[in-house]
Amino acid sequence: MTLPKNFPIGSWDKQALTEANINIIQIDENFSLGQSIAFCLASACTAEDDDGVIIYYGDTLLRNPVNLQNMGKNVIYTARSDFNYVWMKINDGFESSDAVFCGVLSIGNPQLLIRSLISTNFDFTKSLFKYNETNQFVQEHRSDWLDFGHLNTFYDSKTIVTTERAFNELIINKYFVKKRSQKKKKLHAEANWFSNVPEEMAYYAAMLISHGEEDNGYCYKLEYLYSPTLTELFVYGNHPQAIWGQIINSCFHFIERSYEIRNPGPSVDFYKSLISKNETRLDEFIAANPRFGNVVKDAEGNHFMLKEILAEIHKAINPESRSSFVHGDFCFSNILYDFKKNDIKVIDPRGIDFDGNLSIYGDIRYDLAKILHSAIGKYDYIVSDRFHIQDDGETLILELPESSIDLTKLIKKQFETSSFSYTEILALTATLFLSMLPLHYDHPNRQQAFVATAINLYKELTK
């Protein structure tokens, strides 16, 4: 794998690449494509090598594997494209065709390609035609090419990948997303939220196209939004602090505007419902995992009891509540960022209050806690299985990859001008990690990571 010299490789990624037996060749970031390929071939291939190489562009994805039997042969992979970009056309220089080179080729004689690159002043297209004069390429046409090298093709390809990963209850195409489930109330609540979102907040919501009962279940259809989720940007991205400053500012602007929209009717007792839910969930988890009813130690050997932690955390939360418009599940996976408008869009709202009633109202502190459980608690890293947990039956040690950005300062800065307390919301965030434990019964390692995170947040609160 080739990477620019100035590209920082995190230790977590470096270890994963090493375990996959992938070597990194770092190339001067000012090199042209032809210079990069020549440098890579010269670094990886000796004059005695006769096995050949396969070159695979980093912005290309073939949905099916490359035919490794082509190794040592001269094969150029081609495809057709509906987009009007300047790709390398494959014409009579190889075979008569209006196809384009799709970023993968097999080279039987790497040393000859290096010489062809040098003689053409590292013009990659010219070097391939020169190489073809004595070592003729055979075309292999691919209908599974996804091109991520241009903005339009990136979003088009991303839609296809998302569609292929979708399951039976989620239908995605370039026009809409259709979500359906046998859990009628849950989806009805989500659709109800979209259909009743206040006018001043409608800008933030994906457009609801239709909703209703279907095949003993419920479904609704939204416009398809091409923007990435904050989970994608946070866990897998590498964006600078200035970009994240805009993102976090947009999230808090959504919170502040939501808080201004009061619930005109009666509301549930948020604090009482929260306490009850948290205690019930933790009891359920401990009943299924008795060892967590005992002492849990951190890496420094400090002792913690989960029930005692929860009781202490509850004391840091103000029992008084004000009901306003809420999203209900305002975490990174449900927030999309539109880089064209520098603002957020939201999907997958909760739409149900703590008493189980369909409602677009609730306590906005819960939405704030959801933001912190992603940004500070790194929930998205855990559910993406980007962590290591050590557990000897008594001590839990959680290791997470270093993030490209630490959002703590950006979050705290927002609270300086907010009407909410960072300490109180951090306490509420810690309860989220304890209350979600029984919901992840099928991933014991994630449960351990949630416990370790709750303890770390509690330690932050008691500093």
CA–CA separation, 361 vs 13, rounded Å? 42
pLDDT of residue 82: 65
Q: Can you tell me the distance from the alpha carbon of 431 to that of 313, in angstroms, rounded to the nearest whole number?
A: 7
- Determine the number of helices (DSSP H) and then strands (DSSP E) in the chain: 15, 20
Q: What is the phi/psi pair of residue 403, to 5°?
A: -80, 155
As a whole number of Å, the CA-based R_g of the chain is: 27
pLDDT at res. 91 = 53
Q: Output the pLDDT for position 98.
A: 64
pLDDT at 215: 85
3-state DSSP assignment of residue 276: helix
Measuring CA to CA, how many Å separate 446 from each of 70, 383, 441, 443?
Answer: 42, 7, 9, 5
**Rounded Cα gap, residues 394 and 64, in angstroms:** 45
> Which whole-number Å values give the CA distances from 136 to 37, 74, 210, 382, 456, in the listed order?
19, 7, 55, 50, 62
Cβ neighbours, 10 Å, residue 392: 8
Q: Which amino acid is at 255?
A: I
**Threshold 0.75, pTM exceeds:** yes
| Domains of the chain with bracketed CATH | 31-145 (3.90.550.10), 166-223 (3.30.200.20), 230-461 (3.90.1200.10)
Cα dist. 222→194, 313, 331 in Å? 9, 38, 19
Residue with tokens 């400053």: 245
Polymer length in residues for the chain: 463
Question: Tokens representing 185?
Answer: 């109330």
Residue 47 tokens read as 């004059």
Distance CA 285, CA 111 (A): 62
Using CB atoms within 10 Å of the CB of residue 111, give its burial: 0 to 12 exposed, 13 to 18 middle, 19+ buried. middle
Task: Confirm if 162 and 63 have CB atoms less than 8 A apart.
Answer: no
The pLDDT score that the predictor gives to residue 49 is: 67
Instruction: Return the percent helix, strand and coil in the chain, to nearest 5.
Output: 45, 20, 35
pLDDT in tens, the chain (463 residues): 999 999 888 888 888 899 999 999 999 999 999 999 999 999 888 767 667 899 999 999 999 999 888 888 999 998 887 654 444 555 545 544 567 888 999 999 999 999 999 999 999 989 999 999 999 999 898 998 888 887 777 777 777 776 544 445 888 888 899 999 988 999 999 999 999 999 999 999 999 999 999 988 999 999 999 899 999 999 988 899 999 999 999 999 999 999 999 999 888 899 999 999 999 999 999 999 999 999 999 999 999 999 999 999 999 999 999 999 999 999 999 999 999 999 999 999 999 998 899 999 999 999 999 999 999 999 999 999 999 999 999 999 999 998 778 999 999 999 999 999 999 999 999 999 999 999 999 999 999 999 999 999 999 999 8
